Structure 1
Amino acid sequence: MNMEARGWSPVIHREIGEPLPPMPGSDTAPGVIALDGASPPDSRQIEAILGNSRREWIALVPGRRNPEELLTGSVADCLFAHHPLPPDPDSLDTLLRHAAGLSALRQKTAAKESDEDIPQDTDESEMVGTTPAMMKLFGQIRKTARVDAPVLIHGESGTGKELAAHAIHERSPRAEGPFIAVNCGALPTELIQSELFGHEKGAFTGAIERHEGRIEAASGGTLLLDEIGDLPLNLQANLLRFLQSGVIQRVGSSHDVSVDVRILAATNVDIADAVAAGDFREDLFHRLNVLQLEIPPLRERPDDIEVLARFFFDRFQTESAPSLSGISRNALHVMRHYDWPGNVRELINRMRRGMVMAEGRLLQPEDLGLERRGHWRRARSLEEVRENAEREAIHAALIRNRQCVTEAAQELDVSRMTLYRLMDRYGLRDTSEA
C-alpha cells in the first residue's frame, strides 16, 4: 500500500523491542505499527514505545491471528484501532483520517490548557466531530457566517445548537460585537417582552429605571433566540415587526430605537408543524428560515462517539480520580452501542461523572452508568442497512477517485447528478471550498 500517495507517512515497526525510527512531519500525526504475530507483545515494552507519544497508533495484525490474542490489556489501550494484514487501503485510510482528527483535537486542547491567557473553564462542550455529517455541518457554518441573513438551527436537545450559533458569530464580520443568547422557553410569559425589547422607567410596577432589552444589548453583534417555538404568539408579531423594520419600542415608550443585530433562532421542534397547527406565525417562520442548519443527533454519527469520549477524557483529566489513566475498550464498545437520547450533553455529563467516581485504572461501563441502561440502539431495519451500504460504497468510491465526482459516478454506474443528490443525502458533499 502506497501510504505516501495518500498523504500519510506512517511508521512501520515490526520488532517490538527496537527503537522507533523518526516520523517525518508533525509529532502528532497518526502512526501504524505492524505486529508480527509470533507471540503477544510485551505490554511494558509497547507502553514504553507508544504510551509516551502524542500520536494515535493503529496496529496491523496478521489476518490469521485473533486480534484479542495480541492486543490485550494495556497494549490495546495504547492503540487507537487495529486493522488486519494485508491492509485494505480505503479502510486503513479512513482509520488514519479519524486518528488524525483526534490528534488534532487533543493538540488543540493541550494548547488551550497551556495558554495562560485562556481560563481553565473554557467551554467544555465545543463542537467536535470527524464524520462526514459533521464535516458538512462545519462547512455550512463557515458559509452562513459570511452573510448577515437570519439562520434557523434545528436539532434535538443536547446536540449543540447554541454552540453552532456561537461558531457562526465567531466567524462572522460581527465577531467583535456581543453574542447574546435568550432561551424563549425559560422566561416567564409576563417578562418576555420586557426582556427582549426593554422598558422605560415607570412602565409597570417595579420598573424603577430604564432597562435595555436583549435585542438592544446585542446591537452590533448577534442575538440567538433559543427555543423560538416557545415564543408566545402575541410577541411573535413584535419580533416580526423588528425583523422587517430594524427598530424596536421599549415597553412604556412610543419612540423607535434602531438596532443593528443579526438574528439566529434555534429549536428542537419542527416549526413547519407548529405553523400548520396554528402555534407559530407563518410570516415569522419565513423571515427566520432564510438559512437553515440541521445538527445531527449523536446516534446518527457513531464514529464520533470514541473521538468525543477521548477528547473529553483529556479535557477533564485534571479533575479525575488519581489512578485513572484511560478508557477501557469495553466502555468504548458500550458507548458506541448506546442510543444517547441526551446527545453530546449526556456524553459530557457521563464522562465527567464517571471520571470523578472511577476507582480502577481504566474507565468502565459501570462508571458511566451504562451497564444496565436502556436506550440501546435497536436492530437496524433492512432499509437502514441498505442506506448504510450505499453510503459506504459512495464514500469509498470518492476516496478511490480522490473526490472526483465524475470518475466516482462512472465507477458506480450512475449519473453525476444522481451522485450529487446521494452525496447530499448522506452528508458526503465535499466542503473543502467552504
Structure 2
Amino acid sequence: MNARTYLDHNATSQVRPEAREALLAALDATGNCSSVHAEGRAARGTMDAARARVAALVGASPAGVVFTSSGTEADVLALTPDYRRGETPLVFDALLVSAVEHAAVLRGHRFAPEQVEVLPVDARGRLRLDGLDAALARHAAAGRRVLLSLMVANNETGVLQPVAEAARRAHEQGALVHTDAVQAAGRIPLSMSALGVDLMSVSAHKLGGSPGAGALILAEPDLRPAPLIGGGAQERGRRAGSENVPAIAAFGAAAERAGASVDADGVRINGLRERLEDALRCEFPELVLLVGDVDRLPNTSCFALPGVPAETTVIALDLAGLAVSAGAACSSGKVAASHVLGAMGVPERIARSAFRLSFGWSSGEEDVDRALGVLRRVLPGLLRRRAAA
C-alpha cells in the first residue's frame, strides 16, 4: 500500500514529539492541580509551565491565559456582552464580526441576534475598513459599546486580516477587540501588543499539540468575560472544571517548539506551498488558485476545479492517498458553498468546487512529490468526467 500524504493541517496537525512526551508524562503522574498535597502541587507546576509557554508564543502575560477545551470554547467565552474589569461591570451592546469568520465566531457568540452586525470583506477576503469605520461611527453615535471580533488568518484561504489597523480604529471608538488566532498561532509570528488586541483565542491541535486544549488569552488579566462554564474556582474563576493537565502540558510543549521554529518553518513551508502551486498552475490551467495574490499563511492553498463538486475531488484524492479538505460544509447529505468564498463574491460554480491543501510543521519535500503524483493521476480523470457531463 502506498504511503498516504496528509495536507490537511488547518484541520488538525500531527502531534509533535515534544508534545507527545509531555502528554505521556502528565498521564503517568497523579494529582489534581487544585489539591494542596505534593501530587496536586506537581500537577499545578506542570500547568503553570504550560501557561507560561503558551503566553510566550503570543507575547502575553501568563496571568492572562485561560485554558479551555478548544479554540471554539475560547471564542464563545470571549464573545459575550457581559464583562467585568476588576469589580466594575462592562456591558457591550453590539458585536461586530467579519463575514469570513469561523462558525465558532459567527454562530458561537452569546449576543442576541439583533445585536450582531456582519461586516463586509473585499474580493480577496479582507475586512473592508471603510465598512468597519461606518459601523463603529454609527454605534458610537447611538451610545452603544462595541465588541469587535476579527480573525488573524482565514481557515479556508489563509488570507491575513488587517487586525492591527482594525484594532486601532476600534479602540479609537472605545471598542474592545478579540481575534481568533487559531490558524495563525505557531505558523506566523504573533504579538498581542503589536496587534493591539484585547483578547486572543488559540488552539493546541492546530500547532502540534493534543486535541482537548485551547486558550483565551487576555491582554489585561483583570478583564473578565462572564464565565461560560460556572462552578469551581479553576482558572481564577474564569473557567470552572478540573483542567485537562495532560492536554495542557502537550499544548505548552507544542507552543514552545512552534515559537522557537516559527520563522524557519514559515520560510520552509512557504517554499513547499509555492512549489506545489507553481506546478499545478503550469500543468492544470483549468485550476483556479483563489487569493494567490494577497498576504496569507505560508502553508495554505485554496484551489477550485470549476464544474467538479468539491466533495468529488476530496473523495477521489482521498482514495488515491492524499488527504485534503473541501472549502464547503456538509450537512444532511447536501453541500453548501463556502460562506467565506460567498462573502468574497466568488461565483457559486467556483465556490462549490473549492478544496484546500494545507501544510504543517511535519511536511517536507516528499509530501509535495507524493501530492503532485496523486493530483497528476486524479485530476485528468475528473476533468474528463466534467467534459462528458
TM above 0.5, one fold? no
Tell me which interval the TM-score lies in, with the shorter structure as reference length: under 0.3
Q: Which has the higher strand share?
A: 2
Highest CA radius of gyration, 1 or 2?
1
TM-score calculated relative to the size of structure 2 = 0.24
